[in-house]
């Protein structure tokens, strides 16, 4: 049996999306900037898709800027605001649990002379609003806080966060790559200035995303060439990808079904396997996310044994799962390194079935027992980490 529970990394492209995309590879393949009929057909599809996506977050169509994906959207938001508002200030505020697509550009900007503040989070992954208020200064130009965390699934109250930023006259950006279409988002009501999203997390194609940029936001573009995307991002638009993205937005998300299976998985693991801990908030979490720490077990070993049984999971963010360092998110919420290393992320989708969950739990119990029987920590052996031990136990 093959079970895919790594939908936080990427998702299966739905059949409906594939059918919507195909004509724009073979029949309507024009460049949306061209003036002839082929170009007009592509332009029509582009703007229709832009409108569908804008409606999902209550934005105006012209506020949607298509990109190559979530990472580009995050980079454009962080660097675009930083370079476009240098006359106002040089201070950016973010959190210790952001995706690397936020942490990376923040690090680069720090090396260029910008000041970056990283907010702490509590044991469930929530930022402290009082700390945010305290850290905002007259030099602060941007606050960026992830909406639904890609590792532990915690969903921040971005409406409250954005309200603080608006009152202080500071731009607010949220990375909504994991939460887009899973959580209700109204950019006008929530006072969001910038928002990143990606197609391949919602059963759309890879290589396409968008950055919502509220009208009036002063942002510097990062790519130069033609005057595409309201002169915010140069490059011929990926029409098949954009059409597929819009179609994915229109799919029945089956959120109640996913949430029910998520809670069923959590309940069974906690009931049937000892010494486990759910990471992230129990209630305010993404409907498809289950992140569990298994004491006395090494996560990579658990992942590989599950893979041998046809079950695909992750040890954390897909972008960093090959790293031997413990997850920065799990460390930020207070986990010991050995517990962080023993954590597994299960992420479900609209295609996940109860039969798959039952099979996963059955095999998971076997693998955890197998690994614990071999574990030096379970046996009480005083194992000291030697120099060069990348796991740092």
Residue 155 has pLDDT above 80, yes or no: yes
Where does the pLDDT of residue 389 fall: very low under 50, low under 70, confident under 90, or very high at 90 and above?
Answer: very low
Q: Do strands 343-347 and 140-144 pair parallel, antiparallel, or not at all (unpaired)?
A: unpaired
Residue 203: which of 4, 65, 3, 29 has the closest Cα?
Answer: 4
CA 174 to chain centre: 10
Higher pLDDT, 11 or 374: 11
Residue 134 has pLDDT above 50, yes or no: yes
Q: pLDDT tens across 91-123, in order?
A: 999 999 999 999 999 999 999 999 999 999 999
CA 348 to chain centre: 14
How many CA atoms are closer than 13 Å to the CA of 183, on its beta-carbon side? 29
Q: Quick one: tokens of 111?
A: 């090396």
Residues of the chain with CATH 3.90.1150.10: 3-9+253-373
Task: Report pTM.
Answer: 0.93
Structure confidence at residue 230 (pLDDT)? 87
Structure confidence at residue 375 (pLDDT)? 75
Structure confidence at residue 338 (pLDDT)? 87
Please state the rounded mean pLDDT for residues 24-33. 94
Structure confidence at residue 324 (pLDDT)? 64
Structure confidence at residue 347 (pLDDT)? 98
Structure confidence at residue 180 (pLDDT)? 98
Structure confidence at residue 383 (pLDDT)? 38
Structure confidence at residue 191 (pLDDT)? 97
Percent of the chain at pLDDT > 70 equals 93
Cβ-contact 160, 131 below 8 angstroms: no
Residue 388 has pLDDT above 70, yes or no: no
Structure confidence at residue 322 (pLDDT)? 56
Tokens 């011929």 belong to 236
Structure confidence at residue 391 (pLDDT)? 31
Catalytic residue among 319, 336, 359, 378: 319
Give catalytic status of residue 319 as yes or no. Answer: yes
Domain over 15-250 is classified CATH 3.40.640.10: yes
Q: pLDDT tens across 303-316, in order?
A: 999 999 999 999 86
CATH architecture of 3-9+253-373: Alpha-Beta Complex (3.90)
Based on C-alpha coordinates, what's the Rg of the chain? 22
Instruction: Please tell me the distance from the alpha carbon of residue 244 to that of residue 304, in angstroms, as a whole number.
Output: 33
Structure confidence at residue 84 (pLDDT)? 97
Instruction: Please tell me the distance from the alpha carbon of residue 72 to that of residue 85, in angstroms, as a whole number.
Output: 19
Cβ-contact 270, 361 below 8 angstroms: no
Alpha-helical regions (H) of the chain: 15-21, 23-26, 37-56, 70-84, 100-111, 129-135, 158-168, 228-231, 239-250, 255-272, 299-308, 328-332, 337-341, 354-374
Instruction: Please tell me the distance from the alpha carbon of residue 312 to that of residue 300, in angstroms, as a whole number.
Output: 12
Q: pLDDT tens across 53-97, in order?
A: 999 999 999 999 999 999 999 999 999 999 999 999 999 999 999
Q: Quick one: tokens of 54?
A: 């804008």
Question: Could you give the 3-state DSSP secondary structure of residue 48?
Answer: helix
Q: pLDDT tens across 204-222, in order?
A: 999 999 999 999 999 999 8
Residues of the chain with CATH 3.40.640.10: 15-250
Q: Do strands 209-213 and 194-198 pair parallel, antiparallel, or not at all (unpaired)?
A: antiparallel
Provide the β-strand partners of residue 173: 144, 194
Residue 146: which of 78, 233, 87, 225 has the closest Cα?
Answer: 78
Residue 235 has pLDDT above 90, yes or no: yes
Structure confidence at residue 392 (pLDDT)? 29
Where does the pLDDT of residue 376 fall: very low under 50, low under 70, confident under 90, or very high at 90 and above?
Answer: confident
Backbone angles phi, psi at 94, to 5 degrees: -140, -160
Mean pLDDT over the full length of the chain = 93
Q: pLDDT tens across 253-283, in order?
A: 999 999 999 999 999 999 999 999 999 999 9
In angstroms, what CA-CA distances link 102 with 23, 79, 137? 35, 10, 21
């Amino acid at each position: 049996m093959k079970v895919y529970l790594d939908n936080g990394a990427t998702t299966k492209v739905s059949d409906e999306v594939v059918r919507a995309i195909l004509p724009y590879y073979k029949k309507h393949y024009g460049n949306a900037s061209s003036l002839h009929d082929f170009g007009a057909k592509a332009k029509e599809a582009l703007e229709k898709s832009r409108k569908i996506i804008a409606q999902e977050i209550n934005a105006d169509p012209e506020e949607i800027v298509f990109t190559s994906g979530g990472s580009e959207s995050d980079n454009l938001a962080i660097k675009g605001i930083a370079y476009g508002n240098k006359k106002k200030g040089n201070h950016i505020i973010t959190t210790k649990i952001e995706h690397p697509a936020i942490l990376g550009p923040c690090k680069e900007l720090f090396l260029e002379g910008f000041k970056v503040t990283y907010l702490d989070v509590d044991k469930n992954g929530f930022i402290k609003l009082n700390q945010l208020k305290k850290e905002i200064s007259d030099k602060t130009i941007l606050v960026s806080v992830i909406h639904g965390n890609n590792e532990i699934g915690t969903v921040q109250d971005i409406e409250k966060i954005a309200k603080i930023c608006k009152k202080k006259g500071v731009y607010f950006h949220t990375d909504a790559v994991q939460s887009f279409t899973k959580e209700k988002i109204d950019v006008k009501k929530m006072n969001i200035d910038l928002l990143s999203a990606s197609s391949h997390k919602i059963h759309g194609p890879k290589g396409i995303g968008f950055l919502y940029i509220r009208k009036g936001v002063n942002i510097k573009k990062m790519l130069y060439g033609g005057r595409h995307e309201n002169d915010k991002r140069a490059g011929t638009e990926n029409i098949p990808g954009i059409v597929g993205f819009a179609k994915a937005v229109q799919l029945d998300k089956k959120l109640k079904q996913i949430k029910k299976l998520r809670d069923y998985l959590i309940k069974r693991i906690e009931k049937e396997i000892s010494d486990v801990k759910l990471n992230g908030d129990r209630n305010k979490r993404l409907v498809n996310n289950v992140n569990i720490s298994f004491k006395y077990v090494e996560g990579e070993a658990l992942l590989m044994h599950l893979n041998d049984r046809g079950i695909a999971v992750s040890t954390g963010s897909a972008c960093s799962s090959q790293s031997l360092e413990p997850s920065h998110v799990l460390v930020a919420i207070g986990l010991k390194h050995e517990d962080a290393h023993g954590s597994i992320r299960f992420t479900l989708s609209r295609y996940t079935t109860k039969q798959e969950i039952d099979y996963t739990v059955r095999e998971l119990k076997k693998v955890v027992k197998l690994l614990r029987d071999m574990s030096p920590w379970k046996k009480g052996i005083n194992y000291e980490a030697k120099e060069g031990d990348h796991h740092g136990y």
